[in-house]
Structures are given as C-alpha cells and as structure tokens.
Structure 1
C-alpha cells in the first residue's frame, strides 16, 4: 500500500470519528434540553380551578342561612295594595219604541244605495273644527249634481220620483177628460153574479189598501213625533255621556294616582324600613351562617343555673322520698316472694304448687327498674358543682357583647350608605308623582277632546231641524189633512158601496151604491191633487235623509266594518279652510275612537299617537349609579376577632370532667316509672287467691293459710306505697324536665352540651376572622341589589298595569257608539221613517186610483129586480067578472056604481102599472134607452 493510500484511509477514519462525536454531542444537548423542560413543567404552578359559588356553610346553599333552606329570601318583597274601582256608568236604556225595528230596517234602503265608503262629496257636509257638523253650502243652493253623479242608484231613484211628480197631474187631467164617469154597463141581468164578485174583491182590496195607507201614515206621523222629541233625548244623551266621561276620567286618575303615588309610597316605606332594619338582619344572617347562635344557647344555659339550683334544692326532699318509698315497696315485694316460695315448696310441696311458681313468674316480682332509684344521680352531689358555675355566668354574656360589637360595626357601615339611598328613594316619590300628574293632565286633555267630539257628533244636524222645522210643519199638516180626507172618503165609499141600496134607476135614494161611487170619484180627484205633493216631500226628505245618513250613520257602520279606514280623511274644502284658520288640525275623531275602543287601553292610544309612552318608564332610574354600587365593609378588619378566652375554655371544658357533666334526663327517666310490678299484678293476686282455695284444708292447712296471707299482704303493701310513690315520681319528673329544658343542648348531657357549644363558638370565631368581611360585603351587596330589583319590579308593574289595567276604552267607545246611535235613531231614523211612510202612501194611493175607478163603475151598475111569475086564478078585470064571481072573490066591488062607471082612475092605473108583464116591458125599454145614450 502506498503512503498516499494510507493517508487517505487515515483521513476517512478521522472524518468518520468526527461525525460520530458530533452526533453524540447533539444527542447529549437534546437530553439536557429535555431535562430542563421537565423541570420547568414541574416548577410551573398549577392552573387555578374554576371559581364556583362560595360555600359559606357546609350543607347549606346560598348564603348559608337557615331561612334560605326553608325557601325564604333575605329581604321580603313589598306587598302592594290593589286598586278597587267603584265607577258606576249609566246603563243604556232599552228601546221601548214599538217601531224601532222597522226604522232600523228602513236604513237598509240607504245601505243598498250607498256603497260602504266613508267619502262624502264636497260641499254637502261641513265639519267645523270648533263646532258641530252642519249642512254644506251646496245644500243651501240645492246643487245636487255632484251628489247624484256620485251615487247612480240614488240617481235612478230620484229620476223615478221626479217622473211621477211630473206625470201625476197630467194623468189626472187625462182621466177627468176621457175616463171620468165612463163605465160600460154591459148586460146587467147577465153580469149580476160577476158584478157582485168584483164588488167584493175590489172592495176587499180597497179596504186592505186603506189599512196599509193608514199604517204608512201612522209611520210617518210617528217618525215626525220622534223627530220632535229627538233633540230633547239628544240632550239627555249628552248629559249621560258627560257624566260617564267624567266618571271615566275620575276612575283613570284615581287608578293612576293609586299606582304611581300610593303604591310607590308603599314601596318607599317598605324600602326605608328594610334599610333601617338591615343591620339587625345582616347581623342575624352572620350569626346564622357562622353558627354564632351557639353562643346564645350557651348564655341561655348559664343564665338558668340559679333557677336550676333552686329547683334541685327544692327537689331534694322529693328525691329522698322516691328513694325511700321505692326501697320499702321493693322490700315488701321481696318478702311476699319469699313467703310464697316457702309456702309452695315447703308447706305444700305438691307438683301443682311447684307449677304455680313457674306459671305466675313470681320470681320476677321485685325486679322492676322502677324499684331501683339508687341508680339515679344524687342531687346533693351535683349541687355544689352547679353552684360553682354560677360564679361564671358572666362569661357567655361577655362573649355576646363582643358579638354585639359586630352589629354595631354593621350599623355604622350601613349608616354611611343609608342616607344617600333613602334620599334617592324619597326623590323617586317626587319623580313618580310628577309622572302621575303629567299623565293625568294628558288623559284629561285627551278625554276632554273625546268628549267634545262626542258632543259635536251628537249635535250634528241641529241646523237641519232648525232650518226646515217651519216648512216641514206646514207640509206635514197639508199632507196629513189631505190623506185623512181621502181615507175618510174611501171609507164612506166602502160603507155606501157595501151596505147601500143597489142602483135600480128608479128612486135610488140617498143611502145607495151610487153615492158610494161619488165618494170614490171625489177621492180620486183629491189623490191626483195630493200625490205629487207627497212625492215632492218624499224627494226632499230622501235627499236630506241621505246626506244625514252619510254624515252620521255611515261612519258608525264604516267603523264597525272597516276600523282601519279613517272616516274623516276626505273632508270638505270649508273644513280645511276652518282648520287652517283655527291654527292647526285637531286630532282625528275616528282615530281617537278606533284606537281607544273595546278592550284597548288609553295608554295604547297615547303611545301610538306619540303623546305619552309609558314603556319609557322602564328606562327610568331611581337610584343613582353611585348608590347602586356602594362598596361595603372594605375597611373592616376582623383578623383579631375573638369571642372566648383561654380561661373561658378551661371553665367550659372542666365541667365535662365532673359528675355534673354526666347529667342527662335519661339517668332519671330510666328509673322514674310507674311499672313497679313487671308481671300482671291483678293476675298474680287472683292466682294467689285461687291457689289458696284450691288446696285442701285437711292436707295443706299451713300452705293454704300462707297463700291467703300473702294475697292479703300483696294488696296491702302495694296500695300502701304505690300511690305515694306515684306522686313523688310525678314531681321529680317535672324537675328533670326543667333541667332538660334549661341547661341541656339538643338532648346531649351537660358536659357534651358545653363541649359542642364551645366547638361551635370557636368555629364562629374562625368564620368571622377569615370570612366575615367577605360575607358582610356579600350580604350588603345583596341589600343594594334587592333595593334596585324591587324598584325595577315596581316600574315593570306600573308599565304592565298601565297597559293592561288602567283606562279600559270600553266606556269611551260605548259613549261614542251611543251618541252615534242616538243621532241615527233620534234624527236620521225619523227622517227616513217619514219619507218612507209618505212614499209608500203615495204608491198605495196610485194603486187606489185604479181600484177606485173600477169599483165606482161596479157601484154604478143598475140592478134589476128578479122576475117572479104569479099564477092567475081568476080574472082581475072587474068589467069581465059577473056579480057571482066578484062575490066569490071577496065581495062586491064597492068602487063601481051600479051603472059600471070607473070611479078611482089613479088606482086602476097603478094596478095596471104593477102588472109583471107591464114592468118587464118598461124596464127593457129603459135599458134600451140607456144603452143608446151610452
């Protein structure tokens, strides 16, 4: 191998070794870094656990107080009084009008003619912002072109009425010229039955028409009377509406004052009392959470030492008597047991006597725990220790004084913040009082506007009554007299036509059907003269009633059917001019009533019209931010707080080492009982008596005597000691109960009671030193939070009651609806009823014309007497009869002289004229003559 090759090989080995060393160094460096990271991770402090709710007392939630566990709050809520309304609104009078339904039904004519549209053609209704509604200038000018062009159905109706008004006089003239008294006679003998039927049918139709015309005129007269009384009733309605509006206003104001003033007064009184009592309340919560009540129990126990010492001293005699009497009774029972055993085993010895001992269990006669009072605590032994503790009665009281210093500290700390808080609460009274006064002023103005608009609406068309009252009176008088005359003539015509003599053409007389036809003719002439005037009056009232209907009744229907549509959006030019002159537009009546009607509330209307929004009160703040965020107990130092000293601890703990510390009622109750004999006493006595009687006197004389004696001894000993022992035990039980209630804690013995109470007191010290400051700050924060919460709850209650309880708009809408209904029923309905009655009467009179023409033709028909054939038994001619025939017929004719000359010529002519054949010929000749004239 050359030296160059060796050199290269050496270089390669050196480079390989260098790379290995570098790798090892890198690994070593990484290992060192890993160790540093692990050490840093171990040294890093653990992340603090998420803070949960503070637990002040084990087993208690919240702030660790007992009343919280019972579902009670720290600070009780305020109890507000409820507003009791006593408002009495006037009741709507029930309609007593007999034709009220017919009058309301008559409105359907306008409902069909006029569309459900609140718009009114300009110039016919005048709304004055400061006065009531009146007729417009076009009504005064009789310019109805715009009105008729707006309603085509009304235009057709007017055309019909005008056409009839013009045509009726011409028809009357034509009738008088061409048809009057022109009746076709026809064949009277052939048409007798048909004429009779026509007379009955046409007469019945005419009678029915007379009744209908009378009813229509009665409707017209009735409507006219209603119109006369309408204004008086309207005034009454106005007075009732005024009273109801005032009552509503007073009710709203009283409710607002109660809610804003009285309830806030109750709230402020409650909050101030809560703030003034807060120190005692917070101190009580602190004592409860820290279990400081144990100190009160300890003080109660020590304060009863003197009383219990006196009770025990007085009970020493009773205790001795219980012990003495119980031991005597026990010894007596033992003697009875010994003697019975001797009698059964020695004197008797029989198997029956031995079984008697086992059957009666007499061996347990003296084993009752009630007969061992020596096991009870000795009162004389515990009295010295009890009296020694009387010297330390002041120690719990001193600890209570230290605890009371906490109450003083809490009071001083709260007095620092109580003044500003109470001042803000008192300022809130003024704030809510101002809101109440402002609301009352606004509601007063709004309700006054509503009342004024109600008055204006109710007084609508007063000028209609004033303007046309005189003209209407004469027109009504003329039409009434004319129709009454016409109806009278028609009634007389019916009477004459129905009950008068038939027309024969010869001496018909006054009471005949022809006179009835004359009555009909006169009535027809009057009808032609009156109908046009009636139609003219009807046309006038139709037009005026239409304007009144559109101005008064239609808005009510529009409001009920389409309340979202503003009634008064389309106003006349004169109204706009009047509003401009008055300096501003008044609030819309329709919006006023629509938005405040039914179950709505007055505050909803105020809010929607941007007059007053009660919901803005939610943003009101009674407490200032400074008073709401007071920092309490920040400067309090409780690190050196103590309740008991070391000497106090030694005194309390020393009691547990004495006999006094073992005192417990159970030590007495175990032996203070009334079951002196553990076996049934009566059964034992009866068994002894039976056993004595069962033994034979001859064989067991001694045993029998022994059993009888022990029976007597058992009863004697028991009743000699048991009653007295019962009395002494009852007295001693009372003493033990006093000891239990006075110096023991939760039924522990005296030593354990002091030890447990001392432990709780030491825990109280630790709680107050370590957590007292934080706990007091938390309770103080709860106090300010409760004050703000109760004020916010009061504001929410005010807003809710204002929106749902105060100012129900039902009375307002009731007043407005009643006012509009008054206008329709007392003003518009009479107008409609009057022209409706006149129009119907006019149309019925036209029908009467046709029936009267036909009926008067029937009344004028000549009626022939019926032909009655007469059988001639003998000749009636006196000249042709012989004397014997005349004598047979009834005697000699005294009218003829013997010479046969006719003396009475007129009588003979009359007899000849009355002959049937002669009358028929005469009638036929007269009928032919009449037909020729016709």
Structure 2
C-alpha cells in the first residue's frame, strides 16, 4: 500500500505541501512515467515476496518485516532522488519569460567573373621543358647560395664571413657544374677559330684529306657505310636541335608578346577582387549593422509593450480588463435585450394574425373542395391535409419576457459599477504608465549608444576599404603605366631578339642542310669522274660535307657563346623566379626576400592620430608582426580570407569590436534601465464599493438569462405546410376543374384562397421567420457574452473578482521583481544580439570575406605567363643550340673522313696488287721528299690500278705507249704495268721487267709522265 501510495503520488501529481505549485508542468510527464515504471517494478517484487510467503509459512513474519522495511527504504530513497530533479526541471522551465526573434541578416550576393587563366599547352615541347628544368635543378641544387656568403636581415643585405675571409671553396663546390660548363664553352669558343685556321691551312697544303688517291683502299667501303651511319645519327640529333631552336624561338616570341596581356588580366582580376572584397566588408560592417540597429531599435520600442503584456499575463490583470470591457458593453447588452423584446412582441402579434387567417382559408377550402367532384380536388385535400392547415403547434406566448432584465441592466448602467471598474483599470494603467515612462527615459540613451557604435563600425569599414583601395591603386594605377612602357619596348626591341634567334636557328638549319645533302649525294650518287661528272655524285656530297665543316668552324664560337649566355640567363631566371615563386615557403631566395621586405611598410605605413566620424581619436600605429610575401602567397593558395591574407590585423584588429558594448556604455545603460524599474507595493485595484457593485452585477437578472428557452420554442418551423407551394397547387387544381356552371364558383374560390396564402406567406410568415432567426442569434450572442466560458454568469464574475485579487497581490509582492526580470531578459536578448553580430563580423572577416582563391588563380596565371610561356622556351632554345654545338664536334670529324672517301673515283682494285713484296723502311728524308712530290709521278705495284681502269677509258680510244716506246700499240694486260698517254698512239703492253739489283723490292722502272700529258689534278679544300 505504501508503494501504491507513493507511486500514485508522483504518477498522478497529487498536490501536497511538499510539492511546489510549478510542479504541474509538461516537463513532469517524463518523471511521472519513470515513477509509474518504478511502481510497477516494485509491485512485481512485492508479488514475488508474497508468493514466497505462501511457500514458506515458518519464516513469514521475518520476511514480512524485511519486505516492509525494504519498501519503506525504497520509497523514501525514491522521494529524495526524484523530488530535486523535478524541482530543478520546473525551475528551468520557468526560468525564461520571453522568446526572442533573432536578427535576420542579408547575405552578400554578387556574381564576379575573373578572366585570368592558368591554361597552357606546351604543344609537344613539354618533355623538352621538363628535361631542361631537371638539368638546371641539377646544376644549381636546392640552395641557390651556400651558407655564409650572404647575410640578409631586416631591410639590409651584407656579405657573409666567408666572403670577408676569402673562403670560396664551398662556392666552387656548389657551382662546379656551372663552372665546368662555362670552362668547356670557353675552351670551345677560344679553340674553335684556332683549330679551324689550322685545319684550313692543312687542307690547303694537301693534307688533312685535302688530296685523295683516286681509288679505294681495301676497307674504304666499310668505312663509308659506318661513317655514313654515324653521320646520319649525328644529323638526326642536329635535326632535333634545329626543330627545338625554331619552335622554342617562335613560342618564346609569342610568350613575350602576350606577357603584358596576361599581366593586364592579372592586374584587372586583382583589382576586381579587391573591389569585391571592399564591397563585401562594407556590406558586413555597414548594411548588416543597419539591419541589427533596426532590429534593436524595434526591440527597444517594443520593450514597454512587451513588459506590460507579460505583466498582465503573469498577474492575470487581464481579468479586470475583460470585466471592464464587459461592463462597457452593458449599454449594447441593453440595446440587444430591447431588440429581443421587440422582436418577441412582433412575433406574437404576427403569429396571432397568421392563425386567424389560416383558419378562414381552411374553412373556405374545405367548403369548396367538398362541393368539388373532380379528382384533382380530392387529390389536393388528401395530399396537403387541409383540415390541419391551422394546426402549427407553436405557442409564442411561452417565450421569456426580458423586461425585468432590461430594467436591471439599466440600473447597473446608471449606477457606480462602470466608474468603479474604470478606477480599478486606471490603477493598472498607472502602473503601466510609470514603467513605460522609465523605459522611455532610458531608450533614447541606449539608441544613441547604438548609433555611436554604428558610426564606429562604419569608420572601421571605411578604414579597411580605404586600405584595400590603396592596395588596389598600388597594384593598378602604377602597374598600367609600366605595362604600357613594356608594350612599347616589346614592340620595338623584341623583334630583334626574335630575328637573332631566327638567325641562329637558320645557321643550324644551313649546317643541317649541308650535312643532309652531303649524305644524300654521298650515299645515292655515283663516283666522281673528271670528265662529265653528275651534279650530285659522291664528290659533290664530299664538298657539301666540307661546306658544313666550314660553316661549323666559322659559327661554332658564336653559337657556343650565345648558348652559354642564354644558359646562364635561363638558369638565373629559372632558379630565381620560377622555382622561388612556385614554392616560396621552402625556397632560400624567397626566404632572403622575405627577410628583406616587410609588407607592413608598403601596405600599412605609419599613420598619425586620425579622428573618425564618431569623434574618437584612434592610434593606428601599433605593435605589428612581420608581414612577408611568402605568407601572402601561401595564404592565397590556401583560399583564406582577405583579412588573413593581407594581415589586416596589423592595421586594424577586428577583435577590438568586441569591446564596443563596453566602450560605448551600452551595457551600463541597459543595467541602469533595469535598476530604474520600481513599482509601488500598496496598490488597491478594486475598492470595497467597486467590489459591491460587481457582486450586484453577478446577482442581477443577467445571471438567469434564459437563452435556452428561446432556442427551445423557436426551433420548429412556423407553418407545417409551405403556403407558397399550396397556393401553386390550388391554382393548378382550379385550372384542371372542368368548365360548368356549378364549378365556376369553386374555381374562383380556390384561386382566391391561393391569393390569400401568398399574401400570408409574404406579409406574415417571411417576417416571422426573419424575426425568429434574429431572436435566436441575439439570444446566443447574449448567452456567450454573459457566461465568459463559464457555466454561469455569476461564476464568471466571481472568477474575475478572484483573479483581480490575485493580480493585486502579485503586483504588490512580485511586480517589481517580475518587471525587472522581464527587462533583464530584454536587455540580455539585446546584448546577445549585439554579441552575436560582433562574433559574426569577426568570424566572417577572419574566415569568409574575400577568400583568396581568385588571387591564387591570378598568381598561377602569372607564373604560367612568365615561366611556361617565356622562360621554358628560352631555356629550350639554348638547350637546342647547345645540343647542336655538342653534336657538331663529332660531326666535323665524320664529315672530313667521309669527304675524303667520297672523293675517290675508283673502287678497290682487288688482291693482285698485294702480291709483291712489302716496302722496305725508308729514311725520314726520303719520306719528306716523297710527300713533297706529286703522287701521280710514281706508283707502287700494290697501288697500281687494275683492269677496270682500262675498261673505263676504252670508249675514249686513246693511244697507250710504254715509257720505253716498245708496246706495239697493245692494251696493257698486266695490272703491274705503268702507262702514260700520248696523243696519236695506241697503248703498248710492255714486257714484264725482271728483278735487278737496281730495282730491289720488286719495283718497276718507270719514266715520269710529262706534265702536259698528265690527268687533271684534283687537290681542293672542299
């Protein structure tokens, strides 16, 4: 039973002295459900214990006491645990009185289109650019300058200790690759003219391939094949270099010409971004604050109204207002009652007249229809039951008479009731007026503080936007001037660079053409012939090759020097510009630039004290952190807000606006408003006289207004038969009666009665119906007005009295505290709105306003315009030229070798010339003398031409004579014979000479050919 009691206590919410009045809240439902579950579990435990009692009777008494103790302990524990939870929940539910509507801020919406593009197509040169950049990175390394040679501090550059101590070993080790390239290039530049001059002299002297024997040696064919193959490979390499040179020179010119266009697009996008950011800041700090200010002023203007409304609701002072409103409507109630009396009297009169008329009509109709023998007459009499025409069943004399009620209301109106209630209402209005006056005195000061804070926010917006505009001018107005100058210089001078590159490329192409033509003629052409040679024979190929050698010797130094200069310039541009700008945070050069330049000095120069619109003096110069260029780039790539990117906190810390409520004394004014609220504690809303008048009202005739009787007696229809319908039926019946002398009177009687029925319907039934409906409406309205949603008028009036007493008690005891609480919640909501806006401003400024993605795109597009479209083709050009320079060195050797092989006119004569003994060693003096003579004056046996030479000249039919004149005009048959040509003689076959002591080594005796009869001598440089 105890469990049942405590469970029901919390489940049903039974009132007791332990439970406060605010426990009857929706928040208690969860607690009640938990209590119900607890009770059910406990009852199950009790049932289980009872079952155990039945099974074990011997221990029943002990178990019973234990069970009761357990139940008492559990119930007591449940009370101590649950009650505080319920109290806390109820207090939290009653904690807040007002529910505020947050300020609705408009969003910044503007579609912005940026034109900078990072799109780039290398057009087939991407692998070349990548290889070139890798080579440059290999030369320069990760650090451009070794440590200890340069010291960069804030705004100053100084030489390092290693320079002062002349320690350049680390510098040489770091740049050994570049030094090696410069040394090799210098060697080539210096030695090429010297080697070319020496080679020219050597060729002119007949050496170095200047003179060649007319026939091949044993392995010359193989040499021609392999040397030609090697020269084809080098020529292919030259083709690559030439293509690279022409293409990169053209691409570089396009990049240079479009560089200023890309720069203008970048500047335009930058200024557009800054303008957009400025507009966004102005929207946030000015327009959004105006929206907040409008909402705050609206809250201030509604403070008194909201306070009074909440006070009325809390104190139930509205009951007095409702009662007063009802009393004020008593004159209208009197008018309605008088109208109700009038309508009731009219209804009775009309009902009496209608009864009289219907009785006469019934009498005439019964007489006429009884004398009528037609079937239509009997049909009408049976269908409409004419005999009951006047039997309507209503008795309007039973309707209530409201005369006494009207007199009673009249007495209340003329009495002191209305003035008494007006006095009580005036007391309530006086309390409201005093509160309204206090609030009205403080609102203008709060509004003024809000306006001053708004001016301060506008000053902040103006300062930040001016700074951004200054940055925009710095990046725009000055830049355009220099871009125009750059356009002039590019139009005037870039063409010379282009033509210089085109000339270098043309030289390479000329060399390539010479090599190509030399290979083409040397591989596909015939052997050279002194008499009627083809234009593209092997000899022409040799001359093309020597022309290529000559051009190489003449231009190699210039090409090497140009490639070296471009290599050094491209290396510096690649490392100092492209690599540094692509990775500024981890780059040594950019770190030096960061330490050298502080953007605070450029973007936020020190300003003097400036007085803003709000009239307050601000000091702009503050302790700032260094502002580096790399920070801007990294922040932009991270798409951070402009406040973070441009380090605007160094100029204006946006977090300072958190102090505005205190700076402009908004919090102090709101606290003063709360403290100024004071309500009298001895108010008397209703006097004893007013209370007596109200009690008289409760006991008046209005308490017994019989609205239900009106509804009871007026719910039926006035007539049971529709008179208009019956009149139409009578006219129809009259028309159907046959024409006869005795039926005419009946026909006229029916028509007359139909006319009477129409008249009664129009003049009596219709007004009675309208009056009845109006009576019902008035009765229902009066009943609703008098009951006030209560069972009776007296109960409603007594309820109003009780609520008025409670309102008076509440205002006297808790009025001041309650109004202060309401004002406190208003001011708290006021502060929360301001704080929320300030936090919105700070968060939006730091994280959302002016996200730097567009500037990152501008930065990347500028890198593409500079590095990908200018620097990469520039480096590709010197790479192509340098590649050709390196290939030219083996090309010279191959061309000289192949040129000598291509000049030979006769093939290898065969193995017969190798049968004789080998030459003995001759002394140096003989060799010098032999080399100084014409090699055609004597021939060794092993080098004499074969029979193919005879066939070659057989078509010319020459005369061959032995040197001794004894050849008998025969063609030589032995390959070891020597001939000379004489005009008018046939060749003579000499006898084979025998070895003599005068001719050791198997040499033949020979005579020197006269110079006038020798073959044309071919000794030339090309």
> What's the TM-score once normalised by structure 2's chain length?
0.60
**1:128–1:575 Cα contact (<8 Å) kept:** no
**1:497–1:512 Cα contact (<8 Å) kept:** yes
SS of structure 1 residue aligned to 2:316? coil
**1:517–1:859 Cα contact (<8 Å) kept:** yes
**1:103–1:832 Cα contact (<8 Å) kept:** no
Note the 1:472-621 alignment, pairs <5 A. 476=501, 479-490=504-515, 492-493=517-518, 496=521, 503=528, 506-559=531-584, 563=585, 567-570=589-592, 587-595=627-635, 597-605=637-645, 610-621=650-661
Give the CA deviation at 1:500: 5.8
**1:127–1:572 Cα contact (<8 Å) kept:** no
Give the CA deviation at 1:537: 1.5
CA offset digits 1:21-79 (Å, max 9, x no partner): xxxxxxxxxxxxxxxxxxxxxxxxxxxx99988999xx983466xxx5xxx33xx4333
C-alpha distance in 1 between matches for 2:775 and 2:871: 101
C-alpha distance in 2 between matches for 1:121 and 1:156: 18
Q: Identify the residue that residue 285 of structure 2 maps to in structure 1.
A: 260
Change in CA separation of 1:860 and 1:626 when aligned onto 2, cut-off 3 Å? same
C-alpha distance in 2 between matches for 1:781 and 1:572: 53
CA offset digits 1:278-303 (Å, max 9, x no partner): 22221122112112222332233233
SS of structure 2 residue aligned to 1:275? helix
Note the 1:179-328 alignment, pairs <5 A. 179=209, 182=212, 185-186=215-216, 208=236, 211-223=239-251, 225-226=253-254, 230=256, 233-316=258-341, 318-319=343-344
Change in CA separation of 1:189 and 1:488 when aligned onto 2, cut-off 3 Å? closer
**2:514–2:548 Cα contact (<8 Å) kept:** yes
Q: Identify the residue that residue 662 of structure 1 maps to in structure 2.
A: 704
**1:542–1:835 Cα contact (<8 Å) kept:** yes
Q: Identify the residue that residue 8 of structure 2 maps to in structure 1.
A: none
C-alpha distance in 1 between matches for 2:706 and 2:530: 145
Change in CA separation of 1:605 and 1:221 when aligned onto 2, cut-off 3 Å? closer
Change in CA separation of 1:633 and 1:653 when aligned onto 2, cut-off 3 Å? farther
SS of structure 1 residue aligned to 2:115? coil
1:630 is the counterpart of 2:672: yes
Give the CA deviation at 1:838: 1.0
Note the 1:346-361 alignment, pairs <5 A. none
1:780 is the counterpart of 2:823: yes
Change in CA separation of 1:180 and 1:461 when aligned onto 2, cut-off 3 Å? farther
1:178 is the counterpart of 2:178: no
Change in CA separation of 1:375 and 1:99 when aligned onto 2, cut-off 3 Å? farther
> What's the TM-score once normalised by structure 1's chain length?
0.65
User: How many residues are paired up?
Assistant: 783
2:850 to 793, 807, 822: 807
Q: Identify the residue that residue 61 of structure 1 maps to in structure 2.
A: 94
Note the 1:6-405 alignment, pairs <5 A. 61-62=94-95, 68=98, 72-73=99-100, 76-85=101-110, 87-92=112-117, 94-95=119-120, 98=123, 101=126, 104-105=129-130, 107-110=132-135, 112-114=137-139, 117=142, 119-120=144-145, 149-162=173-186, 164-165=188-189, 173=198, 176=203, 177-179=207-209, 182=212, 185-186=215-216, 208=236, 211-223=239-251, 225-226=253-254, 230=256, 233-316=258-341, 318-319=343-344, 377-380=400-403, 382-391=405-414, 393-405=418-430
SS of structure 2 residue aligned to 1:282? helix
**2:262–2:865 Cα contact (<8 Å) kept:** yes
Give the CA deviation at 1:215: 0.9
SS of structure 2 residue aligned to 1:569? helix
C-alpha distance in 2 between matches for 1:595 and 1:148: 37
The two structures, once aligned, show a CA RMSD in angstroms of: 6.7
Change in CA separation of 1:83 and 1:635 when aligned onto 2, cut-off 3 Å? closer
2:434 to 393, 397, 409: 409
1:641 to 664, 683, 687: 683
C-alpha distance in 2 between matches for 1:201 and 1:750: 127
**1:740–1:747 Cα contact (<8 Å) kept:** no
C-alpha distance in 2 between matches for 1:594 and 1:460: 31
CA offset digits 1:571-592 (Å, max 9, x no partner): 699999xx9xx99999532234
CA offset digits 1:78-131 (Å, max 9, x no partner): 333333345554332644664674674355234541566354369999999999
Give the CA deviation at 1:619: 4.2
Change in CA separation of 1:609 and 1:736 when aligned onto 2, cut-off 3 Å? closer
Give the CA deviation at 1:178: 2.5
CA offset digits 1:471-518 (Å, max 9, x no partner): 968964763453343244345546655776664664224354432332
C-alpha distance in 2 between matches for 1:241 and 1:914: 81
C-alpha distance in 1 between matches for 2:317 and 2:977: 141
CA offset digits 1:554-575 (Å, max 9, x no partner): 212323xxx3667533469999
C-alpha distance in 2 between matches for 1:924 and 1:383: 173
C-alpha distance in 2 between matches for 1:412 and 1:120: 78
**2:438–2:677 Cα contact (<8 Å) kept:** no
Change in CA separation of 1:235 and 1:634 when aligned onto 2, cut-off 3 Å? closer
Change in CA separation of 1:263 and 1:471 when aligned onto 2, cut-off 3 Å? closer
Change in CA separation of 1:542 and 1:665 when aligned onto 2, cut-off 3 Å? farther
Give the CA deviation at 1:646: 2.6
Identify which range, 542-551 or 827-836, moves more after superposition: 827-836
**1:126–1:572 Cα contact (<8 Å) kept:** no
C-alpha distance in 2 between matches for 1:674 and 1:314: 21
Larger relative contact order, structure 1 or 2 (CA cutoff 8 Å, min sep 6):
1
Change in CA separation of 1:741 and 1:122 when aligned onto 2, cut-off 3 Å? same
Give the CA deviation at 1:745: 2.2
Give the CA deviation at 1:667: 5.6
Gaps of at least 5 residues in structure 1 are 1-48, 134-142, 334-365, 679-715, 865-909
Change in CA separation of 1:62 and 1:502 when aligned onto 2, cut-off 3 Å? same
**1:744–1:750 Cα contact (<8 Å) kept:** yes
1:833 to 876, 887, 893: 876
Gaps of at least 5 residues in structure 2 are 1-83, 158-166, 359-389, 607-623, 721-757, 908-951, 961-969, 980-1014
C-alpha distance in 1 between matches for 2:590 and 2:506: 43
SS of structure 1 residue aligned to 2:208? helix
CA offset digits 1:632-671 (Å, max 9, x no partner): 4668452332233333323332233333223476665566
**1:633–1:773 Cα contact (<8 Å) kept:** no
C-alpha distance in 1 between matches for 2:410 and 2:705: 15
SS of structure 2 residue aligned to 1:807? coil
